[in-house]
Amino acid sequence: MRTFVIGDIHGTYKALVQCLKRSGFDHARDRLIVLGDVCDGYPDVKQCFDELLKVKNLDLVLGNHDFWAREWATRGIKEEIWLSQGGENTVASYGDKGMPPAHVELLKNAHPWLEWDNKLFVHGGFAPGESLSGQSLETLIWDRNLINDAWKKYLRGEDHQYTRVKEIFLGHTPTQLFNWSEPLKVCNIWDMDTGAGWAGKLTIMDVHTKEYWQSDSVQSLYPGAVPRRTVRKLNISLTDEGKD
């Protein structure tokens, strides 16, 4: 068994299939850790979940967009902010029948975070120095302070280790915001969101070897599609100004 981690998918089924094929992923033997945000963005959310459910050893970490979609599927809540941030494409992908039970169960059982083999997997981030079990779900799925702080330390040449784990894998913050198109390592954090929800690519990585594979540009796979997404709660500095 190999263990892979994949960044934010955002309804890009064609990109997901490319990543699985290019990495040689074995649906029956290998393990796949999804860092959240399968939902919202491009039009194939249902197909993405159908494909993920073929994976025998699957772990889904809950993303903020997955949370919104779960609220719709389980409680009928359709917030305007969600619809305008790609939720309309999620609703449309399921049509009149709505989300099937298997997809709902996958979302309901998603991990707020996952710790395994001295590695931590979380969608957004967390507040260092505080117990993960005591942090709010909102922090875990929305936080960008962690990656921003790590980026500033990286620019200053600091090799900081957050928490006691060796490595942290997260999504949520596209690497394009750092002028980067591949998985980004800052301190002991790997940012795996390479912009599949925008105009970037989807990335899958072997967590042990760090070999990774990317899809084609999602815009080339979905010409004319409008993901209708913007980044919220963002405070990223691309320079080392304001080091405090």
- Separation CA 51–CA 206 (nearest Å): 19
21 contacts 208 by C-beta, under 8 angstroms: no
pLDDT at residue 230 in the model: 60
pLDDT at residue 208 in the model: 97
Distances (CA, A) of 7 to 117, 119, 160, 217: 19, 16, 23, 14
pLDDT at residue 241 in the model: 39
Distances (CA, A) of 176 to 138, 195, 237: 23, 7, 12
pLDDT at residue 233 in the model: 44
Domains and CATH numbers, the chain: 3-221 (3.60.21.10)
pTM recorded for the entire structure: 0.94
16-71 per-position pLDDT tens digit: 999 999 999 999 999 999 999 999 999 999 999 999 999 999 999 999 999 999 99
Region of 228 on the Ramachandran plot (φ > 0 left; ψ -120 to 50 alpha; else beta): left
pLDDT at residue 108 in the model: 98
pLDDT at residue 242 in the model: 34
Per-10-residue mean pLDDT of the chain, 244 residues long, equals 98 98 98 98 97 98 98 96 94 96 98 97 95 95 96 95 96 95 97 95 98 97 80 49 33
